[in-house]
Amino acid sequence: MSGKIFVVGFGPGADEHLTPAAREAMEQCDTCIGYKTYIDLVRPLLAGKKIISTGMTEEIDRGRKAYQLAKEGKNVAVISSGDSGVYGMAGLVYEVLEEAGWDPHNPDVEVNIIPGITAACSVGAILGAPMNHDFCSISLSTLLTPWESIEKRLEAAASADFVTALYNPKSAKRDWQIVKTQEIFLKHRDPKTPVGVVKSGWREGEIVVRTTLDQMADQEIGMLTTIIIGNSQTYYFKDVMVTPRGYRKKYDLVNKGGDLERLKEKEVA
């Protein structure tokens, strides 16, 4: 019997936001492979499992090892936080499998991608409703992407008025990209544009900072931080960050539809 690979996104890391599919993949696997920080976040779910916990730059080894174990008949969960396909392990696992000769049409091991709630969405829910119009997701990590490409995307996102979620905004060794990002956005957007800076959202150690674009780069920011920059319409309703979809411009929100009594509740059996 050949094994299976599950590429799992476990969402923000709180049990309440972990899907049954992701939980089951982690509970049913023989071996769970992941970056140390992620393994630690879900350790209570991994009782009795074999664990391979690797460093940050060992993603390729994680993929190779998963295939090796699955070929030996093991069920393997390769885990990331958030969604497995958004800066997660899904793409790399397929690339490693391809290089190793795996054939999707005649697979010696089965591969399942299990989606999860990506940070832009989980952090958005903490801040209010900032992602409620067209948005971009951009990683500021230059490890695999040249800065020129990232800068071009930041310019495009800022000039076309996208709400923008920044992943991997800053690390101990990489600190100038967030400053440059702020400069780019300030060319196109009001300095008082709402910006949410959230560390470890929905997890132990959560820190939520509601600030504005002109003060974004001055906040405490690290690899566990997700940043959401509002668009030109985003505002703070007290401390709730809201990006309007456009209803209020078009309709009277208090009286639209008139008497609500016509909306009948129906009991459902």
99-158: contacts with a copy of itself (CB under 8 A)? 99-100, 103-105, 113-118, 121-122, 124-126, 128-139, 144-145, 149-150, 152-153, 155-157
> Is residue 184 a contact residue for a copy of itself (CB under 8 A)?
no
- Asked if 5 touches a copy of itself (CB under 8 A), the answer is no
Cα dihedral sign for 95, 166, 170, 189? positive
The answer to whether residue 206 forms part of the interface with a copy of itself (CB under 8 A) is: no
**CB closer to a copy of itself, 79 vs 138:** 138
Q: Does 263 bind a copy of itself (CB under 8 A)?
A: yes
Our finding on whether 192 is near a copy of itself (CB under 8 A) is no
Does 208 interact with a copy of itself (rule: CB under 8 A)? no
Q: Which residue has tokens 């959401």?
A: 228
Nearest-approach distance from CB 66 to a copy of itself, in angstroms: 10
Q: Is 161 in the site for a copy of itself (CB under 8 A)?
A: yes
Q: Where are the beta strands (DSSP E) in 158-264?
A: 163-167, 194-199, 207-212, 225-229, 235-237, 240-242
Residues 66-95 interacting with a copy of itself (rule: CB under 8 A): 68, 83-88, 90-95
User: In this structure, what token pair is assigned to residue 201?
Assistant: 């959202």
Binding mask 20-59 for a copy of itself (x = CB under 8 A): xx--x------x-----------x--xxxxxxxxx---xx
One-letter identity of residue 253: L
Binding a copy of itself (rule: CB under 8 A), the pick from 61, 190, 206, 214 is 61
Stretch that binds a copy of itself, among 14-22, 168-176, 177-185, 209-217 (CB under 8 A): 14-22
- Per CB under 8 A, the list member of 65, 170, 189, 199 interacting with a copy of itself is 65
Q: What is the smallest separation between the CB atom of 264 and a copy of itself, expressed in angstroms?
A: 7
Q: Find the binder of a copy of itself among 19, 37, 171, 211 (CB under 8 A).
A: 19
Helices (H), 169-264: 177-188, 247-250
Q: Does 266 bind a copy of itself (CB under 8 A)?
A: yes
* The token pair that represents 32 in the structure block: 């769970």
Rounded Cα gap, residues 49 and 63, in angstroms: 18
Evaluate whether 133 touches 203 at the Cβ level (below 8 Å). no
Question: Is 166:181 a contact under the CB 8 Å cutoff?
Answer: yes
Q: What tokens were used for 217?
A: 């780069």
Cα 206 from chain centroid?
15
Residue 75 one-letter amino acid:
N
The continuous run of DSSP H or E covering 157 comes out as: helix 147-159
